[in-house]
Structure 1
Amino acid sequence: MSNQAVRFRLEYEGRDVRLVSEQRIGMTLPPSDELGEGRHSGFWYELRDGDNQVLYRKVVYNPLRQDAEVFHPETGAPARVPMATESGTFWLTAPSHPSARYLVLYSSPPEPQRAAEAASELTRFELGR
């Protein structure tokens, strides 16, 4: 397994995501995640080659935050509340692969009541050469 990786810096506002930078780093990553057949819910990203074949896939917690967990000051009971600003920065890391052409993000719908619905392609970035 290679010890070379790429760290992608992304920024978002709502569901609009921008790839800000790609940085080569020395890092060994875990193997690609398998999803199996059928439709899946959640959030993941993939490296794909020019033929659209998956080179690497990682299932992660959705970084596009729309709500936050807060705790009642007296009872300590948790609750989810909408965030005032749906924007931020996040990083994704994938192995450095000479055939990588695209970084593709998949996500279920953002509304909490739709979180179990099948994910679809959220955005695709052509990687720099």
Structure 2
Amino acid sequence: MSTTQGLLRSFGEIADNPILLEKNVTTPVCEGLNIALASFQGLYLQYQKHHFVVEGAEFYSLHKFFEESYDDAQDHVHDLGERLNGLGGIPATSFAKLAELCCFTPESDGVYNSRQMVEHDLAAEQSIIQLVRSQA
């Protein structure tokens, strides 16, 4: 016999947390962490695309660099998601919500030359740096 369970908590609804921080403290922190999570998720996808499509004389070094970069971005997403959960928040996961929250405009679909890909990644990284500094 199976039972159907409905939604337990809506996105944006902050639950109590084990370290007893008040919701007026954790709510803005969770909002900021979700912006960071969405931004790192966007950067992860951009790095991964670059890993797939990079060509040219620098293929091997850039292919490896993009792979290491998307692994690092994935680790940040994981850490942010765990922290959000620990504070009573819910990590953003839908593509629509991630796109809404991302602090930079991801690169358009298509393939760019290696230099442009690195420049696009640098611009995204700089946006994330500004975001993190503004939340400190």
Q: TM-score, normalised by structure 2?
A: 0.25
Looking at secondary structure, tell me which structure has more helix per residue: 2
| Bigger RCO (CA 8 Å, 6+ sep) | 2
Q: TM-score, normalised by structure 1?
A: 0.26
Higher fraction of strand: 1
- Higher Rg of the two aligned structures: 2
